[in-house]
Amino acid sequence: MFDFEYQLKILPDKPGVYLMKNSLGEIIYVGKAKVLKNRVRQYFQNSKNHSEKVRVMVSHISEFEYIVTDSEMEALILECNLIKKYRPRYNILLKDDKHYPFIKVITNEDFPRVIMTRSFQKDGNKYFGPYTDASSVYETLELIKMIFPIRTCKRNILEEGPFIKPCLNYYIKKCNAPCAGYESKEEYKKTINEIINLLNGKNQDIINKVKKDMEEAALNLEFEKAANLRDKINAIEKISEKQKVFLGSVDDEDFINTYSDEKDTCIQIFFSRDGKITGREDFIIENRNEEDKKEIIAEFIKSFYGGTAVVPKHIYVPDIEEDERDLLEQWLTLKRGSKSFIKIPKKGEKKDLINMVLRNAKITLEQFKIKILQDKELYKISMEELRDILDLDETPHRIEAYDISNLQGFDSVGSMVVFENGKPKNSDYRRFKIKTVYGANDYDSMREILTRRFKHGLDEVKEIQEKKLNFTSGKFSVFPDLILMDGGRGQVNVALDVLDKLGVTIPVAGMVKDDKHQTRGIIYNNIEVEIGKKRNALKLITRIQDEVHRFAITYHRTLRDKKSFYSILDEIPNVGSKRKRELLTKFTSIDNIKKATLEELLETPSIDKKSAESIINFFTKEEK
């Protein structure tokens, strides 16, 4: 039992990081403090100043721990790292770490390449960006390839060779084949310098040169050549319109502001590079309207710049606590490698831009609310149609869907996705590595994961009732109103059998596909139910089926990628990587291992009687 009073008494008066945990031991909030004793105690004191978020969070805290640091700066760095690691639900969590794309010219090669990258490093190469839209990068790169004959291969090409036969790009005039020695390093460098000038915005000289060539071609009646040169001019102008330049010598600036309504907050950030607005991003933070705007901005800066490749020289905000600003500036300067400033503009152009960001945040939040209302209505119609199709007593607000994925019958994994009120609830998704089933047996694999899921759920319900906890604190305690299986009657019957044995009553339906692998309908009570004109319900079922399949496949690929090389032998108990290699070396194929006797297997150096019997038992089960 966690002793709150004692732990609060012994809190040190030093800087550090504190981690709040719920009854299941999950970290739900990470914060930093200049004085741990003062900051942590504030959460457990009755205060009218606590926001709704803090009140709800405190109600879920069952214990806390803390880490003492030597300085507040160390606490800030540790806080950012722990938030990225644990992604606590009550911290501001952005979609992902923001690694914006750049165009990179790899100048430290004899024949430089021009590529897209999401990693910005001080490595002597030239970077252009960051772009907030990856499609702009790809389009720019395609235009560059159209204008300039540069290589796109990853081959390490040296000026002195060795030389090889040129590829197709040479013959269609997309590359001058430095790999074959057809273009010198000096000639190629001139082309790269033109690309760098173009990306730097120095496009007029290039346009003038191409225009001159186009006019000469037209005078010589070379109309096809003139048309190609005209297309190049259009492409150059298009690149110039899109260009976002990032240069160390040019001050880059970000402008941040927030707008809150009666419930939610929109944080908007504008990016200014080379004196021009080059892009923007917005983030909706739900249920944070009661919090101090200064705190939201400070937390956002930590979360956002903790994941970006580049920290700007100047960040403009409407307001921020002075102590917090000084600390954040030190941290940003460390990340940037040179001085970074957080400024509060009071008047002039910068103030006008901050106000523009505020107006855009307000518009974005209003549009977000309109879309939510539209989506809610659409989801409501879809679920009501599904209720009518299956003749359910109540609308299925929470739906769980299950799927099994395997590689040629092995390495099976299961997945569970959750949709609440028609929307995916990612935080409740679960993955299952099959533990008791060997070989290709989707039914038994499904039986295992459903048993584990609902048995865990029943155990959690019992624990929550005994300890009088909040039901929302459990991982599996919330049961669905409807279960959807990615499969037909067989999978549905497996699910019903598992639920019956556990004493759980939940309707179960199967999602079936047609010959073109498109969702056709659902099976319920051993009958394929005709959806007919219920188009919204069909779209919802299709979305759920696609999502559960996607989730299973991605988990399966993750497990496969962790292995050096995959073999059916990986599924056999008591056979590790060393024994796997020796078996394949001795018997040369899986079929030969299958046919091997106990005595033949024991002739393998590292195979003992226990592992030999495991091999024989495994393949015997597989044949059955």
The answer to whether residue 421 scores a pLDDT higher than 90 is: no
Beta strands per DSSP E along 180-250: none
User: Average pLDDT for residues 245-274, to the nearest whole number?
Assistant: 77
Contact between residue 16 and residue 68 where contact means Cβ atoms under 8 Å apart = yes
**152-171 per-position pLDDT tens digit:** 888 888 888 889 988 888 88
Instruction: Considering the domain delimited by 253-366, tell me its CATH architecture.
Output: 2-Layer Sandwich (3.30)
- Report residue 187 as tokens: 């000639």
| CB neighbour list of residue 318: distance below 8 Å, 6 or more residues apart | 257, 258, 293, 297, 344, 354, 358
Among 43-52, 54-63, 562-571, the range scoring the smallest mean pLDDT is 562-571
DSSP class of residue 181?
T
**314-330 per-position pLDDT tens digit:** 999 999 998 889 999 99
Neighbour-count burial for 393-432, b at 16+ CB within 10 Å, e otherwise: eeebeebbbbbbbbeeebbbbbbbbbbbbbebeeebbbbb
Give 614 or 130, the one with higher predicted confidence: 614
Task: Round to whole Å and give the CA distance between 599 and 553.
Answer: 39
Give the pairing of strands 63-68 and 16-21. antiparallel
Closest CA to 445 of 417, 415, 490, 404: 404
Among 34-43, 95-104, 115-124, 588-597, the range scoring the smallest mean pLDDT is 95-104
pLDDT given for residue 18 in this prediction: 93
pLDDT given for residue 623 in this prediction: 57
pLDDT given for residue 343 in this prediction: 94
User: Average pLDDT for residues 444-473, to the nearest whole number?
Assistant: 79
**181-215 per-position pLDDT tens digit:** 999 999 999 888 888 877 776 666 667 777 887 88
Contact between residue 279 and residue 378 where contact means Cβ atoms under 8 Å apart = no
- Report residue 319 as tokens: 């307001």
Name the superfamily (CATH) of residues 4-86. Answer: GIY-YIG endonuclease (3.40.1440.10)
Domain ranges (residues) in the chain: 4-86, 102-201, 253-366, 398-561, 568-623
Cis peptide bond upstream of 130, omega within 30: yes
Task: Report the residue count for the chain.
Answer: 624
Average pLDDT, rounded, for the chain:
82
Torsion angle in degrees (nearest 10) through CA of 519, 520, 526, 529? 120
pLDDT given for residue 556 in this prediction: 59
The answer to whether residue 474 scores a pLDDT higher than 60 is: no
**CATH number for the 568-623 domain, one of 3.90.420.10, 1.20.120.80, 1.10.3720.10, 1.10.150.20?**
1.10.150.20
- Report residue 383 as tokens: 């679920």
Q: Is the dihedral of CA 472, 19, 44, 297 positive or negative?
A: negative
Instruction: Considering the domain delimited by 398-561, tell me its CATH architecture.
Output: 2-Layer Sandwich (3.30)
pLDDT given for residue 244 in this prediction: 40
Among 46-50, 268-272, 338-342, 347-351, the range scoring the smallest mean pLDDT is 46-50
Confidence of residue 419 (pLDDT cuts 50, 70, 90): very high
| Cβ neighbourhood burial of 317 (10 Å; 0-12, 13-18, 19+) | buried
| Cβ neighbourhood burial of 70 (10 Å; 0-12, 13-18, 19+) | exposed
| CB neighbour list of residue 402: distance below 8 Å, 6 or more residues apart | 414, 415, 416, 446, 449, 450, 483, 484, 485, 486, 491, 495, 548
Task: Round to whole Å and give the CA distance between 437 and 144.
Answer: 53
**562-614 per-position pLDDT tens digit:** 444 446 677 788 888 778 878 877 887 777 888 888 888 888 888 888 888 88
**Do 568-623 and 4-86 fall under one CATH topology?**
no
Confidence of residue 245 (pLDDT cuts 50, 70, 90): very low
The answer to whether residue 257 scores a pLDDT higher than 90 is: yes
**509-564 per-position pLDDT tens digit:** 998 887 777 778 889 988 888 776 667 888 888 889 888 888 877 765 655 554 44
Whole-angstrom CA distances from 338 to 55, 75, 100, 314, 445 are 40, 21, 20, 11, 55
**209-237 per-position pLDDT tens digit:** 778 878 887 887 877 778 877 877 777 66
Task: Round to whole Å and give the CA distance between 261 and 276.
Answer: 30
Q: What is the CA radius of gyration of the chain?
A: 31
pLDDT given for residue 132 in this prediction: 62
Contact between residue 586 and residue 603 where contact means Cβ atoms under 8 Å apart = yes
The answer to whether residue 373 scores a pLDDT higher than 90 is: no
Give 304 or 49, the one with higher predicted confidence: 304
pLDDT given for residue 528 in this prediction: 86
